[in-house]
């Protein structure tokens, strides 16, 4: 039968095509696997002090040391927790203030002098985002000394990039009609900004700020590691005194704090937007 013949051929062709696709895919997988194996070898197998680590039982023993909660520590965590929240909040707000020029210069449709101001804003955003908060904190500790101020500054500077980027994008996408309307009634550039641009951009900006604030709680919880106050400092102290259940306790406190942050941001979001 002719059609059966054709079908048999077709089956062969399809099976061949499928196994060829599979071969190509397996080759890619093999290359990736080799790369991973090489990296595992250099980063894990060769770079680990296996003797110090000891047997699996030793490792489990050290993990077991962390199990448990140091209830006595909780009262001493309230102040650092409050500090952490405060640093995150002040840092976020300062970040918003510092953002303004980056937003103004960084939105293509309102940047005052494109060849200079635009790249400048992009540079600000990039620097802010690409340097880790720990590094920023180290820098500000060097500049203003140990303490919460360094933390606030680090958080602020680290926040600029994201807030400015999202807001600038919102400005680039905004509806031009209200702008024309305000211009048409004779509004000044400033009035255009306040009455036509701000109302459109504010909801986006508020959302972004709340989002960033949540992240900043997580960040400010560790800045104490480099001397900028908050829960990180307590964490460090527990670790250095080998109070391992205390370490766990601090981590739980951080979790609670972040959960609290998520709750607050949920309600603020609902109230504002």
Partner 1 sequence: MSILSVKDLKVRYSASGPEILKGVSFDVEEDDFFAIIGPSGAGKSTLIRCINRLVEPKSGSILLYGTEVLSLNSRQLRRLRRGIGMIFQEFNLVDRMSVMDNVLSGRLGYVGNITGLFRLFSKADITRALSVLDRVGLSDHVDKRADQLSGGQRQRVGIARALMQDPKLLLLDEPTSSLDPKISREVMALIMEIAAEYKVPVLCNIHDVQLAMEFCNKIIGLQDGIKMFDGPTSEMNTKKLDEIYAMEVL
Partner 2 sequence: MSVKAATPARSGAKSKQPLREWKRFRFPQSLYRWGGVLLGLVFLSYSVVYLNIPLERFFNMFGRVGTLVTERYYPPEIDYITEPDYLASVVDTIQMSYLGALFGMIMAVPLGWFGAYNMSPSKRFVYPLARFVAMSARSVHETIWAILFVTILGFGMMAGVLALTMFCVGFAGKLFAEEIEAIEMGPVEAIRATGANEFMVMVYGVFPQVRVAFTGIGIYTWDVAFRAATVVGFFGAGGMGWYLKRNILQIETYRVSAILVSIVVLVLIAEGVSAWARARVAKAK
Binding stretches for partner 1 (CB under 8 A): 3, 7-8, 10-11, 14-15, 17-18, 22
- 107 in the Ramachandran plot: left (φ > 0), alpha (ψ -120 to 50) or beta? beta
- CA nearest neighbour of 213 among 264, 167, 161, 171: 264
170/226 with CB nearer partner 2: 226
Regarding 130 and contact with partner 2 (CB under 8 A), the answer is yes
188 binds, among partner 2, partner 1, none (CB under 5 to 8 A by kind): none
* 239: exposed, middle or buried (Cβ count in 10 Å: 0-12, 13-18, 19+): middle
Using CA atoms, how far apart are residues 103 and 121, in angstroms rounded to an integer? 7
Minimum separation from the CB atom of position 35 to partner 1 (A): 22
* Residue list 225-254, contact with partner 2 (CB under 8 A): 225, 229, 235, 239, 247, 251, 254
Range list of β-strands (E), 106-238: none
Using CA atoms, how far apart are residues 237 and 151, in angstroms rounded to an integer? 18
Minimum separation from the CB atom of position 7 to partner 1 (A): 6
For residue 76, the number of C-alpha atoms closer than 13 Å in the C-beta half-sphere is: 14
Regarding 31 and contact with partner 2 (CB under 8 A), the answer is no
Are 229 and 147 spatial neighbours (Cβ–Cβ below 8 Å)? Answer: yes
Distances 17 to 20, 62, 168, 189 between C-alpha atoms, Å: 5, 53, 48, 64
107/219 with CB nearer partner 2: 219
Residues comprising the chain, all counted: 273
11 binds, among partner 2, partner 1, none (CB under 5 to 8 A by kind): partner 1
Could you give the 3-state DSSP secondary structure of residue 132? Answer: coil
Minimum separation from the CB atom of position 148 to partner 2 (A): 4
Minimum separation from the CB atom of position 28 to partner 1 (A): 14
- Rg of the chain on CA atoms, in Å: 27
78 binds, among partner 1, partner 2, none (CB under 5 to 8 A by kind): none
Minimum separation from the CB atom of position 4 to partner 2 (A): 27
Are 192 and 184 spatial neighbours (Cβ–Cβ below 8 Å)? Answer: no
Regarding 37 and contact with partner 2 (CB under 8 A), the answer is no
22 binds, among partner 1, partner 2, none (CB under 5 to 8 A by kind): partner 1
Residue ranges in contact with partner 2 by CB under 8 A? 36, 39-40, 42-44, 47-49, 52-53, 59, 62-63, 66, 82-83, 86-87, 89-90, 93, 126-127, 129-132, 134-135, 138, 142-145, 147-149, 152-153, 218-219, 221-222, 225, 229, 235, 239, 247, 251, 254-255, 258-259, 271
């Amino acid at each position: 039968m002719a059609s059966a013949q054709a079908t048999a051929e077709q089956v062969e062709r399809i099976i061949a095509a499928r196994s060829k696709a599979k071969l190509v895919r397996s080759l890619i997988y093999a290359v990736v696997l080799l790369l991973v194996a090489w990296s595992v070898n250099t980063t894990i197998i060769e770079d680990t002090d296996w003797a110090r680590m000891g047997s699996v039982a030793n490792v489990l023993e050290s993990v077991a040391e962390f199990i448990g909660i140091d209830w006595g520590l909780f009262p001493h965590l309230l102040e650092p927790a409050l500090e952490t929240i405060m640093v995150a909040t002040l840092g976020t707000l300062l970040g918003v203030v510092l953002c303004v020029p980056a937003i103004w210069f960084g939105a293509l449709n309102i940047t005052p002098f494109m060849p200079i101001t635009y790249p400048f804003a992009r540079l600000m955003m990039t620097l802010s985002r690409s340097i880790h908060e720990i590094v920023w904190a180290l820098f500000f500790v060097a500049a203003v000394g140990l303490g919460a101020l360094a933390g606030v500054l680090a958080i602020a500077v680290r926040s600029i990039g994201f807030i400015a980027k999202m807001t600038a994008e919102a400005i680039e996408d905004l509806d031009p009609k209200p702008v024309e309307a305000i211009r048409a009634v004779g509004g000044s550039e400033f009035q255009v900004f306040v009455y036509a641009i701000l109302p459109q951009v504010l909801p986006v900006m508020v959302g972004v700020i709340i989002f960033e604030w949540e992240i900043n709680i997580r960040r400010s919880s560790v800045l104490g590691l480099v001397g900028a106050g908050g829960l990180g400092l307590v964490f460090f102290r527990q670790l250095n005194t080998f109070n391992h259940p205390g370490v766990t306790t601090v981590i739980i406190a951080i979790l609670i704090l972040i959960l609290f942050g998520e709750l607050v941001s949920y309600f603020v979001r609902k109230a504002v937007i």
